[in-house]
Amino acid sequence: MNLFETIHTTEHEQVVFCHNKEAGLKGIIAIHNTTLGPALGGLRMWPYATEQEALDDVLRLSRGMTYKAAVAGLNLGGGKSVLIGDPRQDKSEALFRSFGRFIDSMNGRYITAEDVGIDVNDMEYVFQETDNCVGVHQVHGGSGDPSPFTAFGTLQGIRASLSHKFNNEEVGDYSYAVQGVGHVGFELVKLLRNEGAKVFVTDINEEAVQAAVDLGCEAVALDEIYDVDADVFCPTALGAIVNEQTIPRFKFKVVCGAANNQLATEECGDELERRGILYAPDYAVNAGGLMNVSIEFEGYNRERAKRMMRTIYYNVSKIFQIAERDGISSWKAADRMAEERIATIGKLKLPFMGRSHRFPGRERGHN
């Protein structure tokens, strides 16, 4: 693989490989674009089969963060980081503190947060080495677990989708197939059930499924979720699950969920359009967690975060309007909306060159 040719193609600004043998650290930080501000994106820990697989993932995810921040109207760029390892057995204080030092050495160009395989306790160790992380525990002035906010934002996207498709945004009037009831998925299920909605669920974790069933959901097998006769499909786990094999099985009228990179290919987004299935672009729908942690820059306030997340309704609605106006698929309309904002703001200022961030009311302790 030609790394420079790859990042030229993906338009990344910077890729940093992080290694510390004593700490067991093998990590990658990717900064895609800093036109709108410093690159913000979560830290993911996953037992990647190969280093190439880890690199592909971090490049894909960091690019997605650029578009997510732009559509959300935030003054942030896109970045992401990954750690190669099993989150169930490879975590250690040394690992996260070592990684925190790499982040700190970037002088504010990259700000990290929680992602798959990482929790607030892991972020405590990162926080000991750098101010450039968000989503830390509330005792430090942070916002804590972003999952409830991502789920709340997803609900706003669902409302916008229902309004556009059915001219009725009453959540309880429709049925939902939720794929994945982890942190975000379970929070979404609770919100849907609070509205009185019929909800089907599936997950590899049987305990998580049972918890959802206890809330009144109906469980289905992992592969059967694509065949459920529900109005809305809510992917809230893996990416690339809207693909050539699954789309022909859909009876859904709307696809709107919190998972990243739901479309296996752009052509799959076009195929949904041809079949009359409304697709709410994932990075516009799942921006609630990003919006939530972004408020930490100015001093965290939970009520302000909730109000900010309501803008997801209007962002998703605007994407549908652009799609109709320009005669394009919704995924393309979302990209166009993001790219137009980056181009416009890019004319006003130079790309972000890096500076240390100071978060009001936060105290960083050391052991």
Q: Where in the sequence numbering do the catalytic residues fall?
A: 80
Q: 177-215 burial, b if ≥16 CB within 10 A, otherwise e?
A: bbbbbbbbbbbbbbbbbebebbbbbbbeeeebbebbeee
Question: Partners of 114 in the beta sheet?
Answer: 43
CB 231 within 8 A of CB 210: no
Return the bridge partners of 201, or none.
178, 219
* 124 Cβ contact list (under 8 Å, min separation 6): 136, 137
**Residue 96 has which token pair?**
């996260």
Q: Which residue carries 């516009």 as its tokens? A: 284
d(CA 47, CA 172): 39
CA distance 112 to 133: 5
